[in-house]
Amino acid sequence: MGESTLKSFETYAKELQEKYLIPGISVGLNKDGKSFYYKGFGHRDADNDLPVTGDTIFGIASITKSFTCVAIMQLQEQGKLSVDDPVVKHIPELKIVDAEKTAKMTIHHFMTHTSGLPPLASSVGEGGKTAVQSHEDFIQFVNGQKVQLLGEPGEQFSYSNHAYNLLGTIVARASGQSYDSYIQKNILEPCGMSNTMFDITDVLEDGNITKLYEAKVVRGQTSVYPLDGWGETPFMKASGFLRSTVNDMLRYAEIFRNKGLSGSRQILNAESVKQMTTPYIEIEPGKFYGYGLMITPDYHGHTLVEHSGSLPGVASRMCIVPEAGLTGVILTNLADIPAGTIILSALNDALGENVKASHNNYKEHTLSVEKLESLKGLYESDEGMKVIIDSYGSQLTFFMNSAYHPIRYIGNDTFQVNLRDQEEAIRFVFEENGEVDRLEFHYRQLWKR
């Protein structure tokens, strides 16, 4: 196993980079804690011809959630909290819907996105402006939302940035220091992650940091242009605003490969790692959520532990295949691109699989015309996601972002759709009377309107 084994990956990665006009991609793989492959594709600054390196700082977006969960587990090891604690033990002023329902929500439910919270409205308004500047402001913002719960805590999965922002408050209160200070002192420094930070002010001008890019389509032609800034939201750090490099993230990924060790430092004990990587709830066929991590028990015969992230100018993914001793990270500077497909193709190559091979072997099933008709409609969330299920000819389709995509039924009220070279699942949730109530897509549940 070595660099020569990943030539098929490089060819495929370059194809996808050109297809989606991705300015810069940073990809690294380690084997048993040691680097055996790194490749920087393209530029961190295209206008000035500055290349991507393993030490180029990118956003990691929602991979930050795993750091939040590591902090929670450390605090549990210290006896300062338990994952079974009601959230209100640490945030007594929180009141979602009513005090009785809120009291049932535990830290475990927040960590696994199973509190019953649907996607809620963003506290960031147009132009990125917000009145929310602190944990306390954010709690009041959540308290003011009109929330219809998806079910009792533990019953339903729906990805919740709001829950993770509140976990950041719990970390701060239980530790007696700010969330970002706790992460810095207890995770980043012990792991030797010297190029990882929340505040990038000091490196923006002269540091090895990428520009962020965005794509736009005008008259059928796609172009990519740099964004003005990085978007600072102090109260949302715990859900997705850490910035890092591939080399640093590979040091961090060791925690989940090597029973809590990163280098010579014990970041978590083995039992905490086991808790974080336990498949608590199925989020799509064959994939489960742990604590800030997703677990696929059968990825070409191996266990895959991973998490991805997406923000404007950011698409990222961290992967660990413990049995094979493999860790992998991809960081890019353009959103809505198949970063997951790229890093999984590198893993495939390293594991001796075809770079395009899917570990999913879904069989297509049929549904009655009446059942298909009942699924049609508009589905949306307060978070702003909106999709339409319709038909195009005789084919049921998924309509999003001005494009139709055919979907195929794979059983258990679940369909599969291929979006921008990435497979995604669509699951329908029914009421007791058989009527469609909502749709689950991109790990979020959207109400049928």
CATH number for the domain including 12? 3.40.710.10
d(CA 437, CA 448): 6
Q: Is residue 184 part of a domain?
A: no
Mean per-residue pLDDT for 285-302?
97
In the prediction, which pLDDT does 123 show?
A: 66
- Residue 80 forms part of a structural domain: yes
Q: Are the C-beta atoms of residues 444 and 158 closer than 8 Å to each other?
A: yes
Residues 211 and 329 in one domain: yes
**Mean predicted confidence (pLDDT) in 399-406:** 85
Same domain, 7 and 39: yes
Of the three residues 130, 151, 179, the one that is the final residue of a domain is: 179
Q: Could you say which DSSP state residue 198 is in?
A: S
Confidence of residue 54 (pLDDT cuts 50, 70, 90): very high
Does 400 have pLDDT greater than 50?
Answer: yes
Q: Both 203 and 251 in a single domain?
A: yes
Contacts of 122 (CB under 8 A, 6+ apart): 383, 384
- How large is the angle between the packed helices 64-77 and 161-175, nearest 10 degrees? 40
Q: Do 310 and 220 belong to one domain?
A: yes
pTM beyond 0.75: the answer is yes
Query: What 8-state DSSP symbol labels residue 34?
Result: E
CATH number of the domain encompassing residue 405: 2.40.128.50
Instruction: Classify residue 359: in a domain, yes or no.
Output: no
Co-location of 138 and 207 in the same domain:
no
Instruction: Judge contact between 168 and 239, C-beta under 8 A.
Output: yes
- Is pLDDT above 50 for 56? yes
Range 86-112 average pLDDT:
95
Measured between alpha carbons, how far is 10 from 337 in angstroms, rounded to an integer?
17
Single residue among 146, 179, 212 that ends a domain in this structure: 179
Q: Which domain holds residue 301?
A: 3-61+190-350
What is the pLDDT confidence band of residue 369, given thresholds at 50, 70 and 90? confident
Instruction: Please give the average per-residue pLDDT across 14-31, as a whole number.
Output: 98
Pair 97, 245 in one domain: no
Same domain, 214 and 343: yes
* CA 319/CA 236 separation, integer angstroms: 24
Domain boundary among 151, 179, 207: 179
Radius of gyration of the chain (CA): 21
> Does some domain include residue 151?
yes
Tell me whether residue 362 is in a domain: no
Task: Map tokens 């297809």 to a residue.
Answer: 19
Lowest-confidence range among 28-32, 60-64, 97-101? 97-101
306 and 329 both lie in a single domain: yes
Residue 1 has pLDDT above 80, yes or no: no
Q: Which residues pair with 295 in a beta bridge?
A: 288, 305
311, 383: one domain: no
Tell me, yes or no, whether 94 lies in a domain.
yes
User: pLDDT value at position 17?
Assistant: 98
Is there a domain that residue 294 lies in? yes
Has residue 128 got a pLDDT over 60?
Answer: no
Q: Is the pLDDT of residue 267 over 90?
A: yes
Mean pLDDT of 84-89: 98
Co-location of 310 and 373 in the same domain: no
What helix, strand, coil percent values describe the chain, rounded to 5? 30, 30, 40
Count how many domains the chain has. Answer: 3
Min mean pLDDT across 76-85, 178-187, 201-210, 253-262 is at 201-210
Domain match, 49 and 71 both: no
Would 323 be classed as within a structural domain? yes
DSSP characters over 237-287: HHHH--EE-HHHHHHHHHHHHTTTEETTEE-S-HHHHHHHTS--EEEETTE
**Weakest-pLDDT range from 193-207, 393-407, 418-432:** 393-407
373 and 346 inside one domain: no
Stretch 44-57: mean pLDDT, rounded? 97
